[in-house]
Structure 1
């Protein structure tokens, strides 16, 4: 049964502007440790790849927060929700700390899809109950 659905569209130019003003501190606020490693590696190869990665993760976390009905308030935090990729490339949501416990207590599971184009990144999240 569907628990919630969330979607988000993010203007990559806005993310670029914030990153330019705040530098890596912005990425450190939004990304978890494993995401930061990927962001740094992609940014080192091509700044545009790092920017797209950051924008899709920002958008996916916004969509996830909407799907669980919390917005960005505890236990939902930017860093407690990571959008990682399995070896085949499929994005998956990995939760940490209090958010992981909250999610497990409710026996939920999440599915995420992300995409980006020149100016926009979008994400779609479906959260289901395991009942």
Structure 2
């Protein structure tokens, strides 16, 4: 029987990411290459929402884990989509090690994302 091992929620202001989208170095510092949006037709607003919701997910994951953002690289926690475009949290490297140490090797990480013009929100549940 599985149980909830942790929950985390975070909200991010989309406007905060305007300066980030014009700085490839900032994007590369916090986001895994698998979550970087390379769509040249995407509007600045779309890019800001994309990165804001993913950053909120990283924060929500760290809260669910109970570690805060320390102990692992933020690029090791990233959002990808399955074949049905459903988002899920992928975890690798040191973040995977910390997750398995705290929650066990067979835990599952669930995520819900939402964004609109001004805010992006993520909710994460770790189950084991």
Whether TM-score is above 0.5 comes out as: yes
- Any conservation in 1 of the 2:21–2:47 contact (CA below 8 Å)? no
Runs of 4+ displaced beyond 2 Å: 17-20, 101-105
Kept in 2, the 8 Å contact 1:8–1:60? The answer is yes
Where 1:9 maps in the other structure, the secondary structure is: strand
| Aligned residues of 1:40 and 1:50 also touching (Cα < 8 A) | no
What residue ranges of structure 2 are gaps of 5+ in the alignment?
A: none
Structure 1 CA distance, aligned partners of 2:86 and 2:76?
20
Q: TM-score, normalised by structure 2?
A: 0.88
Cα RMSD for the two superposed structures: 1.4
CA–CA distance in structure 1, aligned partners of residues 87 and 20 of structure 2: 24
Structure (1/2) with the larger helix percentage:
1
How many corresponding residue pairs? Answer: 122
Cα separation, 2, equivalents of 1:115 and 1:102 = 26
- Structure 1 position 95 matched with structure 2 position 91: yes
> Cα distance, 1:18 vs. partner?
4.3
TM-score by length of 1: 0.86
TM-fit CA distance, 1:30: 1.3
Q: Does 1:69 align with 2:69?
A: no
Distance 2:78 2:87 in 1: 10
- Equivalent residue, structure 1, for 2:7: 5
| SS, match of residue 72 in structure 1 | coil
Gaps of 5+ in 1: none
Rounded to whole Å, the distance in 1 between the matches of 2:13 and 2:45 is 14
